[in-house]
Structure 1
């Protein structure tokens, strides 16, 4: 199987414009090409206004490109309808954000199970076991029945990582996942994502402004003014 066929994510000439067809139309992403494979652990960096958030929304299938194509697990997505994008997003992508967005009324375990409950309703015993296993893996097994407001910020972010992984996604998108944490906790959360990416065989794309985090990734993709200006591997 070729590299392109085996890719988790492939962008081909991807473009995004706002106000299309109007006098004030503005193109913010200009023909991006990118390939991410399983176990890739990459940082997406760039100055404010470079298009990182727009690109992440496209990769996360939360928005549609104006031109070009985005392939997820070999499946073209640009002309997919909302139901198709929702299905593929739920099956293949996990999200971790700077602010964890946990549901305060639910326990840590129920928060981890939420993506599966939204998809299937009442979780199966196997799903509950998987969620408990993920909480154990992030060091929170004894907090399964604890509500988020009784957890520290770092613990809540660990719950969010477990939630992102409970569907066994092929692609994990992390948007400034350590930006709200102290240095030590940030390092721990980063190492958790690295370990899960390696062990679960998923591709990880981490958006960060922290040069220490980007330097610790295996690969750094630099986006400037809507163009990828460099895509470099770290010296292993």
Structure 2
């Protein structure tokens, strides 16, 4: 558990208790990738997850994002146990509680920037309401792209596209934001700009943010850094002051 999380009266968003993940269960090729992970994330925490390639970061992120289930142990999201949940329950909880930002933004080129931000709500409800559109425009303003709402993703830069993806991830007001190498496809200056945005979002929206990154400079700029090596958390360090 993070010292900062333990010392503050803040809402727990995520908790993992002795989570293990193995593949090819019951066969001669059975391999355990994660070995008894204990982890807690609370609202307002900006946390970096680091580790060498093959350490299990992607596997762990898939479990946290409810895209896969642990082999044993338990994962609680907003206090709800998830390991034995059916697909419908997991999908509903994932859509309500988690926003995703990936290295490759996965914007839809046929739609405008505004429509891309609205996409999670359009999938959920169909035609967006005027309140939905106002919220999307507000989020574009927050990420500095309100003037680009009617442009197509191909008409803006890579850094701007990633900002659109961040606004899209926030449209459902998720208590947990997961970012998988969100700056890995950007130049250093643009990466720093995007990471500054994560800081601002973390403060303004109060969500828990977990960022997987290979960039030690960006990790050092987070209030908390978790290091994963060979499927085990080897360090979980919090800093009182990071900026």
- Taking structure 1 as the reference length, the TM-score comes to 0.97
Q: Secondary structure at the match of 2:110?
A: coil
- The one-character-per-residue Cα deviations of 1:189-221 (angstroms, maximum 9, x if unpaired) are 101111111111100000000000000000000
1:174-213 equivalence runs, <5 A: 174-213=179-218
Q: Provide the residue aligned with 2:47 in structure 1.
A: 42
Q: Provide the residue aligned with 1:119 in structure 2.
A: 124
Q: Provide the residue aligned with 1:148 in structure 2.
A: 153
1:4–1:35 CA contact under 8 A, matched in 2? no
Distance 2:43 2:11 in 1: 8
Q: 1:4 to 1:225 in 2, by over 3 A?
A: farther
- The one-character-per-residue Cα deviations of 1:3-61 (angstroms, maximum 9, x if unpaired) are 89931000000000000111111000001000000000000000000000000000000
Q: Provide the residue aligned with 2:109 in structure 1.
A: 104
Q: Provide the residue aligned with 1:69 in structure 2.
A: 74
Deviation at 1:235, TM superposition (A): 4.5
1:135–1:162 CA contact under 8 A, matched in 2? yes
Q: Secondary structure at the match of 2:227?
A: strand
Q: Provide the residue aligned with 1:80 in structure 2.
A: 85
Q: Secondary structure at the match of 1:154?
A: helix
2:136 to 124, 128, 131: 131
1:44–1:221 CA contact under 8 A, matched in 2? yes
- The one-character-per-residue Cα deviations of 1:72-115 (angstroms, maximum 9, x if unpaired) are 01010000111111101110100001100000000000000000
Q: Provide the residue aligned with 2:28 in structure 1.
A: 23
1:60–1:173 CA contact under 8 A, matched in 2? yes
1:227 to 227, 232, 235: 232
Q: Secondary structure at the match of 1:8?
A: strand
2:14–2:41 CA contact under 8 A, matched in 1? yes
Q: Secondary structure at the match of 1:132?
A: helix
Distance 2:109 2:152 in 1: 6
Q: Provide the residue aligned with 2:168 in structure 1.
A: 163
Deviation at 1:184, TM superposition (A): 1.2
- The count of aligned residue pairs is 235
Unaligned runs of 5+ in 1: none
Deviation at 1:150, TM superposition (A): 0.4
Question: Which contiguous aligned blocks of 4+ residues in structure 1 show a shift greater than 3 angstroms?
Answer: 2-6
Distance 1:129 1:172 in 2: 21
1:40–1:218 CA contact under 8 A, matched in 2? yes
